[in-house]
Amino acid sequence: MIIIGSIFLVVVVILILLFAMDSENNPENNSSANDQGIPSFTPLPSDLPRASGEKADILADIAQKIGEISPVQPVLGGKWFIDRFWFVSGSNEKVYAEYEDGHILRKILLRVDSRENKYSYEVLAYFEPGDSDWAVKTGADSEIGKALELYEFDETRQSWVNKN
């Protein structure tokens, strides 16, 4: 009797595992599949295009100067560092920079002035995290609702990469 119960338990466990594996492989249950059931492709970081030309120069320059550009100081003796950038699509003149010091997160909208490979920046808006989105604390978000190009730093490649 104990042997039959043990065999029954093993069969039930095997059936549950087979069902679970089948559910994971079913495109209808795959959140990364599109409407036709074709799995979507998520590029590996090495497949993402690097920032190049003037965009790459601007990103590197802002990342280096964020401590001077930010309208607020980091807390607890920290140092600002950039998490990500969003260029307004089709332009190198307006860019959002999201940055932190390990304790607090901030964002700014900058106007970029480029003259002979020298850059200067005007803070058009300063943001702090709100209840469900960023809250403008100073200035105005003149680029709200526009298409944006997201750039994040790829540690492996030691460069900013376009994520969209």
Q: Which of 9-18, 79-88, 112-121, 151-160 has the lowest mean pLDDT?
A: 9-18
Together in a domain, 31 and 54: no
Whether the per-residue pLDDT at 6 is higher than 80: the answer is no
**Considering only CA atoms, which of 41, 37, 25, 97 is closest in space to residue 66?**
97
Together in a domain, 31 and 70: no
Together in a domain, 32 and 5: yes
Can you read off the two tokens belonging to residue 156?
A: 């492996």
State phi, psi for 56 to the nearest 5 degrees.
-60, -40
Cα–Cα distance measured from residue 131 to residue 114, given in angstroms and rounded to the nearest whole number: 35
Cα–Cα distance measured from residue 153 to residue 84, given in angstroms and rounded to the nearest whole number: 7
Of 10, 25, 42, which residue constitutes the final position of a domain? 42
Together in a domain, 19 and 52: no
- Mean of the per-residue pLDDT values of the chain: 81
The per-residue pLDDT for 32 is: 44
* Residues 60/161/128/112 CA torsion (nearest 10 deg): 40
Q: Which of 6-15, 70-79, 136-145 has the lowest mean pLDDT?
A: 6-15
Whether the per-residue pLDDT at 121 is higher than 50: the answer is yes
Together in a domain, 105 and 74: yes
Together in a domain, 25 and 72: no
**Considering only CA atoms, which of 164, 154, 160 is closest in space to residue 59?**
160
Together in a domain, 82 and 115: yes
The per-residue pLDDT for 22 is: 58
Query: In which domain, by residue range, is 13 found?
Result: 1-42
Together in a domain, 22 and 101: no
Task: Indicate the pTM of the whole model.
Answer: 0.69
Together in a domain, 31 and 50: no
Together in a domain, 54 and 1: no
Together in a domain, 49 and 122: yes
Domain count, the chain: 2
The per-residue pLDDT for 55 is: 87
The per-residue pLDDT for 16 is: 67
Together in a domain, 138 and 66: yes
The per-residue pLDDT for 35 is: 52
